[in-house]
Amino acid sequence: MNDGVQKLEQDVAILAAMAAQMDDYLKSDILFWKMGQSGMPMLTLGGYLMRQYRLLTLSDLLSEQKQADMETAVIQFNAALVEKIVRFEAKATHEIEARIRQFEAYLRDLRNKQAPGMNYETAVEPRAMLAALIAKLSMAPYHLDRHIPGRIETLDRNLRQLWLPDDFIWPIAWQPAYPPDEFWWLYGKPG
């Protein structure tokens, strides 16, 4: 449990750093934005939304200060989205395409036995980002491209062909945020 809470606290710091640069990021044409801080992942909408979802859902595991930091980041993110609906949709759709290709390549490598060192717990992050991006684009005032759900179904069908159900693969403290009926791909791994 402690490991999961510690990772959530790291997510708060990452979320805050991403939110601070979100306005500039949305105005740019760059999809994978280097944040310029050591140890930080690249800023993408999917990376931000995946963390925001997890943090909002599991906020009761955070200290009051971390909750306040998270709420400040969410407010800053929402402020960055004001009057950028079209830019957000375009960038999110572009990232969805990139994440689908990324996960397809991982699955292809698995089938060809070329991904032996790839840790599924990390490799599945693009799938979690896809879920977060699709959830956001499915909410008004945004629009989800009507072809994307079919592409995700194909991706999931290909993953299911290799699937070995098992226990939840991320820190157990995170499990309440990821029910198995919706996030089945976090309950096992490809074999």
- pLDDT value for 191: 80
Contact 29, 21 (CB under 8 A): no
pLDDT tens-digit map of 104-157: 998 888 888 776 556 889 889 999 999 999 999 999 999 999 999 999 999 999
- CA contacts within 13 A on the Cβ side of 42: 10
46 near 129, Cβ under 8 Å? Answer: yes
pLDDT of residue 156: 95
pLDDT of 130 = 97
Residues 6+ apart with CB under 8 A from 155: 100, 103, 104, 107, 127, 130
Domain range list for the chain: 2-190
Whole-number pLDDT of residue 136: 96
| Predicted local distance difference test score (pLDDT) of residue 38 | 78
Q: What is the pLDDT of residue 109?
A: 86
Per-residue pLDDT at 113: 76
pLDDT lower than 50: segments of the chain: 1
CA angle 92, 44, 115 (to 5 degrees): 100
Could you tell me where the DSSP H helices lie in the chain? 2-27, 45-57, 64-81, 85-111, 120-123, 125-137, 148-160
